[in-house]
Amino acid sequence: MKSRVPSLILGRLLIALVTLAIVSFAVFFATTMLPGDTAMILLGQSATPEAVAGLRAAMHLDDPALLRFLYWIAGLFQGDLGTSYANQMPVTTLIADRLANTLKLAGLTTLVTVPLALTLGITAAMWRGTLYDRIVTIATIGIISVPEFVLATLAVLVFAVYLKWLPALSFTYQVDSFAGLFRAYAMPVITLTFGVSAQMIRMSRAAVIETLNTSYVEMALLKGASRPRMVLRHALPNALGPIANAVALSLSYLVGGVIIVETIFNYPGIAKLMVDGVSTRDLPLIQSCAMIFCFGYLLLITTADIVAILSNPRLR
């Protein structure tokens, strides 16, 4: 029988491209509907109507929205993200360093979160119904119920105000040693880890338990396989697809969570740059940052779908 894997992977990629096109349309027109006149905000309340009209003409704000959208899409395909209204600099220049900082924060969070969450989720499924499983389940439900800005505020109160172990703000320019790296990234990583790991623990636990209930795993148990061997050798390889989806969906939380964390801890990342762009109605900057977040989200979800397809022996 011919394998369906190539056609399924191609279908997922096409869906991702169509979704990205729809998202780009939504992002552009949503940002153009932000309240306030961009030219007036940039020039100030004392600007004359002639100056405002001249600036609007210079920035092509009076052109039809559809025409500006087509110009913007054409620029994206050429790698041109436009010029920042507020800074009069190419958006790519503004984003370059900030994007590297955000990727560094996301990478450190992933390195901490994925091994921790998968270990807790798999072991909770391995010993489900025990006191350990109940503690892990209650803790994850409690963490999921708390918004990320509350977690960040509690982290500041505990580690910065009362214990005085860590700074309340993230000073990345002081990173010249491991101690400096720890002090700069500990608070943001701790906050993001709590939010991301809770979902990942629950979803990976559910995926492993569902696999443990299958007939071939029960057969391995009847043949005398130990519980760790039954999970690691028989259940876990077949739960790889659902676990990959759990990891991707949980890491996609970083797209929203990092905005809160970078703002609270004054972390110089792309999310903080986008928030600053909203305050000045810097439309090219806001649109570019939003598209980067959407692309990252779609990349995670599409990668998880492809891993699930490749790990399914029935499709191969």
Q: What is the mean pLDDT of the chain?
A: 80
d(CA 249, CA 300): 8
CA atoms lying within 13 Å on the CB side of residue 236? 14
Evaluate if residue 17 carries a pLDDT over 70.
yes
Give the pair of three-digit tokens for residue 180.
């400096």
The lowest-confidence range among 13-17, 44-48, 131-135, 260-264 is 44-48
At the top level of CATH, the class of 89-281 is: mainly alpha
The lowest-confidence range among 32-41, 79-88, 105-114 is 32-41
CB 203 within 8 A of CB 253: no
Per DSSP, 90 falls in state B
Tell me the percentage of the chain whose pLDDT exceeds 70.
85
Locus of tokens 């790519």:
92
Query: Which amino acid makes up residue 42?
Result: L
Locus of tokens 């005398």:
224
CB 137 within 8 A of CB 124: yes
CB 304 within 8 A of CB 247: yes
pLDDT band at 5 (very low <50, low <70, confident <90, very high): confident
Residue 210: C-alpha distances to residues 127, 202, 206 (Å): 14, 12, 6
Predicted confidence (pLDDT) per residue in 126-152, tens digit:
888 889 989 998 988 888 888 878 888
CB proximity list for 182: less than 8 A, separation 6 or greater: none
Q: Which of 112, 114, 113, 138 is nearest to 124 (CA)?
A: 138
d(CA 315, CA 241): 12
Evaluate if residue 14 carries a pLDDT over 90.
yes
pTM of the entire structure?
0.78
Per DSSP, 101 falls in state H
Query: Which amino acid makes up residue 281?
Result: R
The lowest-confidence range among 55-64, 82-91, 121-130, 242-251 is 55-64
- Which pLDDT belongs to residue 50? 75
Q: Which of 152, 100, 298, 263 is nearest to 274 (CA)?
A: 263
- Which pLDDT belongs to residue 313? 66
CB proximity list for 70: less than 8 A, separation 6 or greater: none
The runs of H, that is alpha helices, within 33-90 are: 38-43, 49-58, 65-77
- Supply angle C-alpha 136, 138, 141, rounded to 5: 105
pLDDT band at 18 (very low <50, low <70, confident <90, very high): very high
| Greater model confidence, 238 or 150 | 150
d(CA 34, CA 43): 17
Q: Which of 249, 247, 216 is nearest to 233 (CA)?
A: 216
The lowest-confidence range among 80-84, 215-219, 279-283 is 215-219
Evaluate if residue 207 carries a pLDDT over 90.
no
- Supply angle C-alpha 124, 125, 130, rounded to 5: 60
What is the residue extent of each domain of the chain? 89-281
